Amino acid sequence: MFITPLSEEMSWARGGADTDEHLLALVVLSRCFARLGYFPALDEAVGVGQDVNRRV
């Protein structure tokens, strides 16, 4: 399953991130919130991302 951020989400995230790494983290957490309904702990979000990358 791929969850592509909307252009509005990317614009919002660019306004709050000063590096590409922060942009990625903000978008991932935003997508997690949209899917889960809450912000997961950072280590939980990283684990999910690693699992998805392993399947690709």
Q: Of 2, 5, 23, nearest to 14 (Cα)?
A: 23
Mean pLDDT by 10 residues, the chain (56 residues): 80 93 87 85 68 49
> Helix 42-55 to helix 20-36 angle, to the nearest 10 degrees?
90
Distance, CA of 35 to CA of 48 (rounded, Å): 12
Q: Is the dihedral of CA 20, 41, 39, 37 positive or negative?
A: positive
Beta strands in 1-56 (DSSP E): none
Are 29 and 38 in contact by the 8 Å Cβ rule? The answer is: no
Q: What is the pLDDT of residue 53?
A: 47
Q: What is the pLDDT of residue 19?
A: 92
